[in-house]
Amino acid sequence: MGTDPLEDPRSAAIEELEQLGLSAYAARTFVALVGLGEGTAREVSQVSEVPRTRVYDAVDELHERGLIDVQQSSPKRFWSISADTASRMFERELQQRTDVLRTALSEIYPIDHHVEQRGVWTVSGEPAVTDRVLDFLAEADDEIVYMTVDDLLTPELIGALKDATERGVSLKLGGVSESVREQITDEVDDVVTFESMWMWSDTPAGRLLMIDGRKILVSALVNGADASPTDPRSENAIWGAGETNSLVAVLKAIFTWRLEEIIDE
């Protein structure tokens, strides 16, 4: 990424505004105006480094989106809404958009997602992997084996695990630290915890999930050398389903074997 993460709020804001659909000029102009509170085209141009003659277009764009008010004098004056109001504005608009999207998509959705029995699927991105894990947990009806590192065990996931045990699914949880383990055994009954077994692979960290011995997901965190703490860590996962699935067959064998060994201790 070329821009500073949190150091420079102006660049960060401009970046976001562009992502949200504003032109580069409009974004820079708006940020300048938020800083100034109010100003003329010349003033805006000086602090934003937008060519003065283009400030007028940018301002039109912003005015139509309700982000600034304009004064029809000469020179024209521009007045930006407050940071808080602007954020509310975007939030409202985006909420509306996702609502439309949700209804449109659900109207499309046709047949049930029959699950492919052959092949291995790959997933990219931590949020996507978590979603898949949540889906799978929800469809378990016998046994869940879940191994994960601490910071991927969010409250949302703990809730899903709890739900599963409450409908009679047995849970084996591994890899977490002592403190987290205590917290879990406190909140969730019917859980067996076991020590980490990341040693069986050279994967530094990630998750491993097995559902009813018929569905398996494995993930690895891939932020190698350029690991910046603020970045959303990048996670890649693969999963497969079905007794005959090759991934399931292989991993299930290794997994249950090691698992029995460790729990027996």
Near a second copy by CB under 8 A: residue from 28, 29, 34, 146: 34
Rounded Cα–Cα distance for residues 188 and 167 (Å): 12
- Minimal distance, residue 110 CB to DNA, in Å: 22
Pull the structure tokens for residue 178: 């002592």
Among the candidate windows 9-17, 67-75, 201-209, 222-230, which touches DNA by CB under 7 A? 67-75
Instruction: State how far the alpha carbon of 184 is from the alpha carbons of 131, 171, 189, 202, 209, in Å.
Output: 20, 11, 8, 27, 17
Strand 170-174 with 143-148, pairing: parallel
Q: Which is nearer to a second copy, 123 or 216 (CB)?
A: 123
Name which of a second copy, DNA, none residue 75 binds, using a CB cut-off of 5 to 8 Å depending on partner kind: DNA
Does residue 249 bind a second copy (CB under 8 A)? no
Neighbours of 78 (CB within 10 A): 26
Position 2 contacts a second copy (CB under 8 A): no
Q: Does 76 participate in binding DNA (rule CB under 7 A)?
A: yes
According to DSSP, residue 21 is labeled: T
d(CA 54, CA 62): 13
64 binds a second copy (CB under 8 A): yes
Which of a second copy, DNA, none binds 9 (CB below 5-8 Å, type-dependent)? a second copy
Tell which one of 102, 166, 177, 261 touches a second copy (CB under 8 A): 102
Q: What are phi and psi of 46, to 5 degrees?
A: -65, -45
Query: Taking the complex as a whole, how short is the minimal distance between the CB of residue 169 and a second copy, in angstroms?
Result: 21
- Closest C-alpha among 57, 83, 89 to residue 70: 57
- 42 lies in the binding site for a second copy (CB under 8 A): no
